[in-house]
Amino acid sequence: MKMPAGTQGGVVLDPDDEDTLEHLREFKGALEIETGLGKGFILMRRGELVAACFEDKEGVYRGDAAVRYIMGSPRGGSGPGSQQFVMRPYSDLDYAEALDRCTEHSLFIGAALPAQESAPSVPGNAKTLLSASGIVDMDTLNKIMAQPGVVAVSAFYEGFTVLSQGNADFEHVAARAEDLLRAGTRIALDMSLGQPDQLILETEENKFIIVPFGDLCLCIITRADAQLGLIRVLLRSLRNEVETDVP
Residues 162 and 218 in one domain: yes
Between strands 84-89 and 150-157, the pairing is: unpaired
Q: What is the pLDDT of residue 19?
A: 53
Residue 38 · residue 22 · CB < 8 Å: no
- Among 83, 111, 139, the domain-final residue is 111
Residue 167 dihedral angles phi and psi, to the nearest 5° = -120, 100
Residues 237 and 124 in one domain: yes
Structural domains counted in the chain? 2
Of 126, 142, 120, 38, nearest to 81 by C-alpha is 38
> C-alpha angle 49/140/166, rounded to 5°?
15
Q: DSSP secondary structure string, 208-232?
A: EEEEEETTEEEEEEEETT--HHHHH
Interior/surface letters 88-126, b for 16+ CB within 10 angstroms, e for the rest? bbbeeebbeebbebbeeeebbbeeebbbbbbeebbeeeb
Looking at the domain assignment, is residue 17 inside a domain? yes
* Alpha helices in 86-190, H assignment, sequence order: 92-104, 124-133, 138-145, 170-190
pLDDT < 70 positions in the chain: 1, 8-25, 47, 72-83, 110-135, 242-247
Domain of 15? 11-111
Of 44, 36, 149, nearest to 87 by C-alpha is 44
**Exposed (0-12), middle (13-18) or buried (19+): which is 177, by Cβ within 10 Å?**
buried
- Among 90, 111, 132, the domain-final residue is 111
CA distance 192 to 42: 50
CA distance 162 to 156: 5
What is the Cα 138 distance to its own chain's centre? 11
Q: What is the pLDDT of residue 72?
A: 65
Residues 101 and 164 in one domain: no
Residues 85 and 152 in one domain: no
For residue 89, what is the enclosing H or E element?
strand 84-89
For residue range 52-75, list pLDDT tens digits in order: 899 888 888 888 888 777 776 554
Which pTM value belongs to this model? 0.48
Q: What is the pLDDT of residue 39?
A: 87
